[in-house]
Structure 1
Amino acid sequence: MKFVAVTSCPTGIAHTYMAAEALEQAAAAAGHEISVETQGAIGATPLDPALIAGADGVVFAADLEVKNKERFAGKPTVSVGVKRGVSDAARVLDEAVAAVEAFSPDVAVEVVPAQDVPVRREGRGSGIRRALMTGVSHMIPFVAAGGILIAIGFLIATVAWPSNGAIEVTGVVDGSDPTALMAWLSSDFSWLSAQSWAVLLFWVGKWSFAFLVPALSGYIAYGIADRPGIAPGFVGGFVAGLVGAGFLGGIVTGFLGGYLALWISRWKVPAGVRGIMPVVVIPLISVAVTSVATVLVIGPPMKWINDTLTVALTSLSGGSAILLGVILGLMQCFDLGGPVNKVAYVFATTGLVNAATAADAPAQIMAAVMAAGMVPPLAIALATVVRPKLWTKQERESGKSCWLLGASFISEGAIPFAASDPLRMIPSFMLGGAVAGGLVMAFGVGQLAPHGGIWVLPLIGHPLLFVVALVAGFAVSALAIIGVKEYSARKAAAAAEVVVDVVA
């Protein structure tokens, strides 16, 4: 059979392309043809309409809303999460074959269009998760760019102000006087001055960070109501930032704005009013209600929670800091890019807004999360090298790619191994992640770059201690993996001997 497929994941980095590769390999093994459109972080190259027209069926392996889904109307479709596309591609294709064989063109018009609005039809919990992951995936580029630029600004500052490495421009660095910043840029900026570049890059990073909460809120609302949700989501997120509600307030405004816009868009209105609904009525009412509710109702309690959390983080020291690092490490390695992993990551990245230097508690939390997230693929890579006989040839080959994936802070590289043996792999990953996260916090290692792995090592405070914590984490995890694999192998061998003896 001939199939077309679309894959996408919340971050648009690893799962998206791993699912595409897995589906292509499974199709080739089963004698089918498949063409995959990857809707990843760098965009997508749409499938040729001729391929879609000639396809027997469609596979969606996606955790986000598939873009331009109407292209596939009238085709038998199987829709699964992206993780199943990675770990269970052969069975997904079997389901697609069954869908094609059971498909009746007579009911196509009734069945397929219901998939055009999955957020309205799917379970409430799945819809909430999908919307939240949509917000997180669109927020990450702002965080990554802003965080790394801020870190580069501080790195240049260590050369520009060698006495203490601090950016020393009164009224400019702390943002207390925007007029002073603009005046400084127009009159004192020098193309050949390291101090000028340190300040400018620092502020470009801060400006990028300023979009963090609006982007999170705006794209949560977009995940719920499509384009009508963007305006109330972005404005609500912006207001949440102004009133100090932080990213928690942004999440609430995203859902409020999204569901409000969705509800208004369903109103039955006269034909003469329909034309102005999307450009006037929906944005006017949804923006007004969301913003007013944020200022008067949502903002105050969310600000209190945000302020309390900020005070608690900045006061962490000793055992409490280490315990937090352990907990974050466990979360990072629990589902490898899933919701629990993303909660820990968003908690760390949004906290960077309150970090001025790599020595601050939020920067240490970010370092702990990144170190822990690098552990699973690096542990797999090491285990396949140390005990190659415990792994198949294909697993050993996959283990080689895990070196680069782990070093780049792409936890998803370990997913095929976790999916094939979750009861042994995941606890082993979590053990190493807890060690790495706890050691980072114990060493007081911090970083202002929210992504990059070893490639942003120069931007990390105490980089050698970061490497020590990372190596300790993935070494412990690799030893645990080898231990449980060897125990299982010996147990299986012993069981086989018992069977032989009984037969004899």
Structure 2
Amino acid sequence: MTDRIIITDLVTLDADLGADSTEVIAALAQRLARTGRATDPTAVRDAALARESQSATGLPGGIAIPHCRAAAITTPSLVFARLSPKVAFGAPDGPADLVFLIAAPEGAGAEHMKLLSSLARALVKPEFLATLRAAATPDEIVTLVDGVINPEPEPAVSTEQAAQQANSPATPDSRSNAASTESAAGTTAASSTGTIRSTPPPDAGATATDPAGGGAAQRSIVAVTACPTGIAHTYMAADSLVAAGERAGVRVQVETQGSSGSAPLGASDIAEAVAVIFATDVGVKGRERFAGKPVIESGVKRAINEPDVMVREALAAGTDPHAAVVSGAARSESGAAAADSGALGWGTRLRQILLTGVSYMIPFVAAGGLLIALGFLLGGYQISGNAKNIVLDNSLTDLPAGGLGTYLGAVLFQIGSLAFSFLVPALAGYIAYAIADRPGLAPGFTAGAVAVFVGAGFLGGLVGGLIAGFAALWIAKLSIPQWARGLMPVVVIPLFASLVVGAIMFIVLGKPLAAVTSGLTHWLNSLSGTSAIALGIILGLMMCFDLGGPVNKAAYSFAVAGLDVNDAASLKIMAAVMAAGMVPPLAMALSTALRPKLFTTAERENGKAAWLLGASFISEGAIPFAAADPLRVIPSMMAGGAVTGALVMATGTTLSAPHGGIFVFFAVGGLAGFLLALAAGTVVGAACVTAAKQLRKPRAGAASPAALATV
């Protein structure tokens, strides 16, 4: 390999790189660019900060591993800094003095990713951290890091030597060395296969299952680790669990679903395991392989911070008949046991389920809604009544009365309408998918279609998706003969779950949900004056509360689900939601432009990008500011959003497109009112955050990038 992962020019020792994690990351990105390994330091910094906004990268022991992939990175690299003073990166035990920026190109090869993951594994070893703190020169750092990512191969042991060692008396030292060598060999094998196995000391199996040491089979645990980027935490968590297994005398096998490749655990390994650990921040690939196994679930960082606790919990779950188990793609409904065993609580789980449905629904909304708006632009609003007839009765060689514009407008409108019609079925289908994996898709989509048919709309999709998912999950848990198991996911579960949810929706819940939906629509249509303004304030507050999180998505989903060009109230709600969602990035951009000294260099750069993000209705453009200083930024943005929402409703502004920001101004009814509301909210938000930062400068490192994730 011609390019080394780390060179002396990428090492900084005992330096002050800034007051907070954002400034440190920006400085490391600049150093990467100065060595010619990145074309744009700002792009690298933004990619790393985006990863920080998902969860903090600080780890126990005074280390931090910000990491990212970006097209601007040309060579896989490690940028190292030993900080003085320390800087907070969100670790539970305090600020970090050792920081590695792990930078990978967008399409980094598997070999490079294996090298980067090797470093991540070394960072869980206290002795390696001690050598990093003791190093006197950049050359020593480079040598140390090279030693862990490109280790010298172990000398081969001949058959004769192995026999001599086996026949020689075992001493404590020799036994320890053998165990450590065996463990190291297992870790080396893991680097190439993607599966990591622990090798406990020779006597551990006996103590675990047979106090007499009678040769009983040793207990084993299987685990899956995965983080959003798949570079660092995935492998650190895996090695932490393996090491914990060695300490507990338990065989731990980990499937790392990361960037350097993943070899699935064998069916026999899974069958022999007493329990499974899912330490992931993303979905588990092939979760159905673990069906029926007692499970402990957590985010990936818990496996790094508390691996011994998780191993103990897994062993306890393996002997607890009431423990949560894997069924399809989700836990069973053993709520109390799940909470006690460290699994995700049902409140968190329900939020994840609903957000899964919304996230899969949004592409249908964006594509369908924008096509409908473009259809209006070309053919006028009058095509909404007979676009289908225009498309079917005419062609490019036989144009309707309105000419080419009307025909193309009708085509775009019809395509958009068909895409938009999947909104509720997609919502319900992927809610069910989040609960029961693929067997839940068919009954979930069926529930959504029934909700549309009976007029239950968005609310019916939510309820129907939940019923379909849990029905599929319940059916999957039924005990049936082994020969019939293959029919369960493709025939039995979809058939009976669809029957259950369809019957419930038609016979029991359809009419009540339709009545609620109809009543809500009539109530919205009747709103005027102060009532409409109050609704605008509420929607504005929700859109700015968590900047793309569950509350923001709830307000947005409410707006798009009711969007109807023939319903003036729904068009006003859509306008209020979009305008309020544009406020946070624009307000932060304005504040950084007016009072740049109140912000770090990195924040000022983020402010420049936030102009375009806000104009495009991407609320997430304000996340870097909110993550660094949530107590000042979020209330200020909510104030601006409330003003904008109120003014949109007060002026009667409408919007027939669900996304696009300034790029769909053609779909705004009352553009002057929209611009006035947007400008007023932006000014109020900027003024509030500027005043808040002037009153008291935020303490350096006081808020980690993980803070926003808990909102």
Q: Is the 8 A contact 2:65 2:99 kept in 1?
A: no
Q: Give the corresponding residue for 2:581.
A: 373
Q: Please give the alpha-carbon distance, in whole angstroms, between the structure 2 residues aligned to 1:50 and 1:270.
A: 47
Matched to 1:298, the amino acid is L
Work out whether residues 151 and 447 of structure 1, in 8 Å CA contact, stay in contact via their aligned partners in 2.
Answer: no
Distance in 2, Cα, partners of 1:93 & 1:233: 32
The answer as to whether partners of 1:78 and 1:95 remain within 8 angstroms in 2 is: no
Identify which of 194, 203, 206 aligns with 2:414.
203
Report 1:261-272 matches (<5 A).
261-272=472-483
Residue aligned with 2:66, SS: helix
Contact 1:73 1:113 in 2 (8 A): no
Corresponding residue for residue 294 of structure 1: 505
Aligned to 1:172: 386
Matched, 1:388 2:596: yes
Following superposition, the deviation at residue 488 of structure 1 comes to 1.1
Preserved CA contact (<8 Å) 2:241 2:252? no
How far, CA to CA, are the matches of 2:594 and 2:466 in structure 1? 48
Partner of 2:172: none
Q: CA separation in 1, counterparts of 2:446 and 2:579?
A: 34
Q: Name the structure 2 match of 1:405.
A: 613
Q: How does 1:447-466 map to 2 (within 5 A)?
A: 447-466=655-674
Give 1:137 deviation, angstroms: 0.6
Inter-CA distance 205–376: structure 2 relative to 1 (3 Å threshold): same
Q: Which deviates further from its counterpart, 23-32 or 362-371?
A: 23-32
The code of the aligned residue for 1:302 comes to L
Deviations along 1:205-227, whole A, 9 cap, x unmatched?
22111111000000011111110
Q: Which residue of 2 aligns with 1:356?
A: 566
Alignment partner of 2:51 out of 20, 37, 57: 20
Match status 1:146 vs 2:378: no
Larger radius of gyration: 2
What does residue 247 of structure 1 align with? 458
Per-residue deviation, residues 423-480 of structure 1 (Å, max 9, x unmatched):
2111100000001111111111111111111121222122232122111101110001
State which of 104, 108, 120 in structure 1 corresponds to 2:252. Answer: 108
Any unmatched runs of 5+ in structure 1? 3-14, 39-44, 59-69, 159-164, 493-504
Q: 1:94 to 1:431 in 2, by over 3 A?
A: farther
1:306 alignment counterpart: 517
- Number of equivalenced pairs: 439
- In 2, are the aligned partners of 1:434 and 1:473 still within 8 Å (CA)? yes
Measure how far apart 1:49 and its partner are. 8.5
Picking from 449, 460, 470, the partner of 2:678 is: 470
User: Alpha-carbon deviation of 1:300?
Assistant: 1.4
Displacement of 1:284 in angstroms is: 1.0
One-letter amino acid matched to 1:207:
L
Aligned residue in 1 for 2:550? 339
Query: Is residue 20–residue 36 contact of structure 1 (8 Å, CA) maintained in 2?
Result: no
Q: Is the 8 A contact 1:26 1:93 kept in 2?
A: no
Q: Aligned in 2, Cα 1:287/1:48: closer, same or farther, shift over 3 Å? A: farther
* Counterpart for residue 64 of structure 1: none
**Structure with the bigger percentage of strand:** 2
Q: Is the 8 A contact 1:78 1:99 kept in 2?
A: no
Correspondence 1:124 to 2:333:
no
CA distances 1:67-101 after superposition (whole Å, capped 9, x unpaired): xxx97776987778x8xx9xxx99x8998599479
Letter in 2 for 1:149: L
Determine whether 1:215 maps to 2:426: yes
Give the 3 Å change call, closer, same or farther, for CA 263–149 of structure 1 in structure 2. Answer: same
Q: 1:334 touches 1:426 (CA, 8 Å); kept in 2?
A: yes
Distance 1:254 1:395 in 2: 41
The runs of 5 or more residues in structure 2 that have no matched partner are 6-45, 58-63, 68-78, 82-97, 123-192, 198-221, 254-273, 288-296, 298-329, 332-342, 700-711
The 1-side partners of 2:108 and 2:235 are apart by 25
Aligned to 2:449: 238
Q: Which residue of 2 aligns with 1:8?
A: none
| 233 and 73 in structure 1: CA distance in 2 versus 1, 3 angstrom threshold | farther
Measured in 1, the distance between the counterparts of 2:105 and 2:555 equals: 30
2:174 aligned residue: none
Work out the percentage of aligned pairs sharing the same amino acid.
47
TM value normalised by structure 2: 0.56
Larger displacement relative to structure 2 (399-408 or 233-242): 399-408
Say what the alpha-carbon RMSD is for the aligned residues.
3.7
The structure-2 alpha-carbon separation of the partners of 1:21 and 1:335, relative to structure 1 and needing over 3 Å to count, comes to closer
**Among candidates 157, 162, 165, match of residue 379 of structure 2:** 157
User: Structure 1's 397 and 183: CA in aligned 2 closer, same or farther, altered over 3 A?
Assistant: closer
Give the secondary-structure state (helix, strand or coil) at the position aligned to 2:471: helix
User: CA–CA distance in 2 between the matches of 1:350 and 1:468?
Assistant: 26
Higher helix proportion (structure 1 or 2): 1
User: How far did 1:197 drift?
Assistant: 2.0
Aligned-partner residue type, residue 26 of structure 1: P
Task: Answer with 184-193 or 234-243: which moved more.
Answer: 184-193
- Cα distance in 2 for partners of 1:228, 1:47 equals 34
Deviating more after overlay: 339-348 vs 402-411: 402-411
SS in 2 for 1:108: strand
Q: Which residue of 2 aligns with 1:484?
A: 692
Alignment correspondent of 2:652: 444
Q: Is the 8 A contact 2:582 2:614 kept in 1?
A: yes
Question: What secondary structure is seen at the aligned counterpart in 1 of 2:252?
Answer: helix
Greater relative CO, 1 or 2 (CA 8 Å, sep 6+): 1
The one-letter amino acid of 1:194's match is: G
Alpha-carbon distance in structure 2 between the residues aligned to 1:71 and 1:298: 48
- Rounded to whole Å, the distance in 2 between the matches of 1:388 and 1:97 is 43
Structure 1 residues 480 and 131: CA distance shift in structure 2, 3 A: same
Higher mean displacement: 321-330 or 410-419 = 410-419
Structure 1 residue aligned with 2:212:
none
Query: In structure 1, how many angstroms separate the alpha carbons of the residues matched to 2:685 and 2:374?
Result: 32
Is the deviation greater in 246-255 or in 259-268? Answer: 259-268
1:329 to 516, 528, 540: 540
Deviation of residue 35 (structure 1)? 7.0
TM norm structure 1? 0.77
Q: C-alpha separation between the residues in 2 aligned to 1:94 and 1:114?
A: 13
Report if aligned partners of 2:65, 2:100 keep a CA contact under 8 Å in 1. no
Alpha-carbon displacement from aligned partner over 1:218-263 (angstroms, at most 9, x marks no partner): 0011111110110000011001100111111101111111111122
Q: Deviation digits for residues 358-384 of structure 1, max 9, x if unmatched?
A: xx1111111110111111111111101
CA distance in 1, matches of 2:570, 2:650: 14
- 1:131 shift after superposition: 1.1
Which of 126, 130, 135 is the aligned partner of 2:357? 135
2: CA distance, partners of 1:241 / 1:445: 28
Q: Give per-residue Cα distances to partners, 1:261-291, cap 9 Å, x unaligned.
A: 1222222221111121112111111111111
Q: Distance in 2 between matches of 1:316 and 1:73?
A: 61
